[in-house]
A and B are shown apart, each in its own frame.
Chain A
Amino acid sequence: MAGSTITSYGPAASEVFPEPRRRAWRALIEPYLYLSPALILIGLVMFVPLLLGLSFAYRNIHLLNPFSGGFVGLDHFSAIMGDKRFWRALINTGWWTGASLVLQFSLGLGLAMLLNRPFRGKRFVQAIIFLPWAVPIFLSGLTWAWLFNPVIGPLPHWLAALGVMSEPYNILSNPSVAMWGPIIANVWFGIPFFAITMLAALQSVPYELHEAAAIDGASAWQRFVKVTLPFIAPVIAITVLLRTIWISNFADLIIVMTGGGPADSTQIVASYIFTTAYRRLDFGYASAISTALLVLLMLYSLIVLQLRRRLAGKV
């Protein structure tokens, strides 16, 4: 279907138009013409910087030092190997991504199931529940940071009243629990995304399947596990895998709420890259960490693709 313009116009055009060759050539370049602004923008603003950034990793580039710029070979990478902050950030990235993902996904799926049935005022309820997704991320971060602040926020007082805390204090300033602050903000912000994708998936489950299972005497729980889950499993898999990459690189909330502190306890690799470039102005080292992150992400994707192939082979 998509190509019928070109294929079907070919012979007809040669009869009607005197210059068939010119016309065919035009038809050939036409799609590229429409795509060219997009491709030029992406090329100049994403791929050129990407390649340049990869080259920075082997150079000493310090913004405030006019004599920097020299080639340093693999020095940055050997520095990374011994950089405790980097390894700490890597562990934190796993922790941050895992906890955010599990909570966002389970709550998002639960919400999608609540929304996947008709009820009165559904449009209004959806608008309210999806609102966090539209709140500017820096504002979400600031708002949650304030909620955790015992001076003006209620959360520490409630946690103290529940006995979780001995006295109201700001969890963002306690290294052993600070990561929970950005994670909770991230869950708040990310539930709508999962709810929407899972809702779309749930709505694709044929009603007849459910009906047949119900008539055969399956309970609601059995129907969920035996009918719904297998049906939406592929969508779940792809969403979770893509989202893992996205969350692991998502530094905005951490930068706003804790700046990676206290004592690097909330620093993830992405926020470490930002801090190295923005605060220390060490572009060379920041680019070396970026290269390491890119390699790790590629490894992750390869493993995922391999797993997918193996799973597909079994079915």
Chain B
Amino acid sequence: MITVGQSKARRLALHAGHTAGLAVFMVFAMFPLFWLVKISLTPNNLLYSEGITLWPSSITWDNYQFALLGSRFPRFFLNSVVVSLSSAAIVTLVAAAGGYAFSRFRFAGKVPIMFVMLLTQMVPLVMLIAPIFKIMSPLGLTNSLTGLIIVYTAFNVPFATFLMQSFFDGIPRELEDAAMIDGCTRLTALRRVIFPLTLPGMGATLGFVFTAAWSELLFALMLINSDDKMTFPVGMLTFVTKFSVDFGQMMAAGVLALIPACIFFAFIQRYLIQGLTAGAVKG
């Protein structure tokens, strides 16, 4: 911080302003989530009388009990975990291979392929909903978790490939060259030397894709129609439309949806800057 020509009082004022500014941003970021938790803990009979006080006079766990034991939410949760984890795992493998090719080779098709991959990030995905439904329906991939996994995997591969490339770029190529001169094949060199070094990068990619797949709504809405195949977003939206007055129960379910997202967020926080600058188009 540059302090040339600043009096002590001025620096104090700046410091106070800085802290106040950050506090405002923190309150803005946390308030909606705080409210979600608050309503989920408010007993039904207090909902309307104390709906807008900052904290209810008594709290209840009934809404969570309902969400966990009396509803379909555990099923939706499980479906979402299966879809998100599978997509994340497949994307990470596919993107690691592709990112490696981008990082270590120079070949004729490289620039066009990278350009096409960047282009896919510009295509409004919403326009693919109808044709993908039309293609997947005769293949038995609508109303199936496999179909969702295929779609999410393909959508996340371009961004994840660029992300993995940036991680490979950070690993000196001399390491694998040395191993290959010592007689390893490229695959052995990869497995023994490079793979352990890329683990953090793979973890970050896994986290990004998991988060993206966990929140995807529109394709899941179109492709899934039976109760037992619904992912969490679809299940929750259906519930909200059907029982739009059970606010406490809806918000308890919302808090459940928040938990995995927060865990993975903690996991990928360190890589946020790298990730977002690698694919500045991605939300």
Contacts and interface: CB of A to CB of B under 8 A. Distances in A.
Interface of A: 1-6, 28, 30-32, 34-35, 37-39, 41-42, 44-46, 48-50, 52-53, 56, 61, 63, 107, 110-111, 114-115, 117-119, 125-140, 142-144, 146-147, 151-154, 157, 188, 190-191, 193, 196-197, 199-200, 210-211, 214-215, 217, 220, 223, 238-239, 242, 245-246, 249-252, 255-256, 270-271, 273-274, 277-278, 283, 286-287, 290, 293-294, 297, 301
A146 B249 CA distance: 13
A31 B165 CA distance: 13
Q: Main SS of chain B's interface residues?
A: helix
Of all A-B residue pairs in the complex, the 6 with the closest CB atoms, nearest first, are A3-B106, A290-B127, A45-B154, A136-B215, A134-B265, A31-B105
Count chain B CB atoms within 10 A of each CB in A5, A188, A238 and give the residue with the most: A5
Given A50-B131, A52-B135, A41 B154 contact: yes
A274 B134 contact: no
23 contacts: A3-B105, A5-B177, A38-B157, A46-B128, A46-B155, A49-B128, A50-B131, A118-B1, A139-B233, A139-B254, A142-B254, A146-B35, A147-B32, A147-B35, A152-B52, A157-B52, A196-B273, A196-B276, A223-B2, A249-B124, A255-B218, A277-B129, A283-B134
Nearest to B169: A2
Nearest to A283: B130
B283 A50 contact: no
B161 A38 contact: yes
Given A152-B51, A256-B217, A50 B130 contact: no
B73 interface: no
Contact of A278 (B129, B135, B161, B266): B129
Contact of A44 (B29, B129, B154, B276): B154
B85 interface: no
A61 B211 CA distance: 34
Q: Main SS of chain A's interface residues?
A: helix
Interface in B218-244: 218, 221-222, 232-233, 236-237, 240
A37 B218 contact: no
B36 interface: yes
Given A45-B151, A49-B135, A188-B28, 7 more contacts: A1-B173, A32-B107, A45-B150, A129-B25, A129-B29, A138-B217, A151-B247
- Which interface class (under 10, 10 to 19, 20 to 34, 35 or more) fits B? 35 or more
Contacts of A251: 126, 218
